[in-house]
Amino acid sequence: MSAVEQHLSAVLRDPLGAASAGGALGYVGLDIPPDLLLACDRVSCHLPLRPPREASRTSRWLESSFPLWAHSILEDWWDGEFQCFDHVIFSRGDDVSHRLYYYICELQRQGRIGGPLPLVFDVARIPRESSRRHTANALRDLASRLGIDQAALKRGVHKANEWRRLFAGIRAQRRGLGGFYERLVRASLYTDPCRLLLGWKPEDSEPPRDGIVLAGSSPPDDRIHRLVEQAGWNIVDELYDRGLRRLGTEVDATAQDLPRAIADRWLTQHFMARDFYDPMAELVETIRRTQARAAILWCTREDEALAWRVPAQRTALEGSGIPSLVLVARSWTFDDGADQQIRSFLGGIAHASA
């Protein structure tokens, strides 16, 4: 195992390690500009996304429409594991994150739980001028509440742009097994990827494999990647929220109105379930660019918005002659037989060299 892989594994084993000293800024949901998160003079990291130890207590409050990772966050919050955070920002751009914010606020109001102060990033994604103004004002409000001034926000933009350039370069040079890139992006939720990748070079010793594009919901970890690799294939790109494009494109740090510049750039992002864009064209273009031989569309039962895209995506793939496996309304913990379906699907496709 390389030094970089060891670092990734260490971060993923202890995702709150960097925040453990206290005073950190937490967040839930990926629809929050990193420019704001990195502007704070403190550690910022996502709350861990993992299956709950048990959900009987949280099921008293959260309906069945909440995914298990939301139960895990509430369970850990209840147990005081997030005392290392002063504030936690929840994104309105993610339905589960937004609803979880209100539940935690109410449980705190009733005195049932304590923990950090929950805040909401009130992003508006309908493509119109009023949404851009609203989102910029939401950024100004959060910056004010967190004590972030213009100079700090500018530093946040510079740092976020550094991360963006790193991820863009990695995506352009990507080769080797896809599981590494999945672990890298997941670890970047909890620590600085620039530090993680010191001395890293793209893997070139792995023999080339036929590629798969994975689209739909963000999986809990690299289990789908590992399964595909065990079958002799490789995931060459991910079209879900937690991918190498999650940070968006660079923001002009010299803009006079930085909150507006950040909001305008952030709202051009096309990777959220609520976005208004053509997912068919993006999927077909990604397959063409990566020369992938097939696609897997995997959507959890809680990601209802994604399921509406599947018929059009399936039609586009069929029109392009691309084999696809469609797994809709599936279990987030991958315990519903999806592994066998993926093995069977891949076993039925001939490799390019065959």
Domain range list for the chain: 192-347
Burial class for 54, CB neighbours closer than 10 Å (0-12, 13-18, 19+): exposed
Q: Which residues contact 240 (CB under 8 A, 6 or more apart)?
A: 214, 215, 216, 217, 218, 219, 271
Q: How does strand 294-300 pair with strand 117-121?
A: unpaired
- State how far the alpha carbon of 250 is from the alpha carbons of 42, 78, 158, 187, 287, in Å: 22, 37, 9, 21, 25
3-state helix, strand, coil in the chain (%, to 5): 45, 15, 45
- The pLDDT value recorded for residue 45 is 96
- The pLDDT value recorded for residue 54 is 80
- The pLDDT value recorded for residue 310 is 86
217 Rama sector, left if φ>0, alpha if ψ -120 to 50, beta otherwise: beta
Helix (H) or strand (E) holding 111: none
- One-letter amino acid identity for 79? D
Residue pLDDT tens, the chain, 354 long: 788 899 999 999 999 999 999 999 999 999 999 999 999 989 999 999 988 888 888 999 999 889 999 999 999 999 999 999 999 999 998 899 999 999 999 999 999 999 999 999 999 998 899 999 999 999 999 999 999 999 999 999 999 999 999 999 999 989 889 999 999 999 999 999 998 887 787 765 566 789 999 999 999 999 999 999 999 999 999 999 999 999 999 999 999 999 999 999 999 987 655 565 677 788 899 999 999 999 999 999 988 888 888 888 888 888 889 999 999 999 999 999 999 999 999 999 977 655
Give the CATH number of domain 192-347; options: 3.40.50.11900, 3.40.50.300, 3.40.720.10, 3.40.190.10: 3.40.50.11900
User: Are the C-beta atoms of 78 and 284 separated by less than 8 Å?
Assistant: no
The DSSP 8-state label assigned to residue 109 in this structure reads H
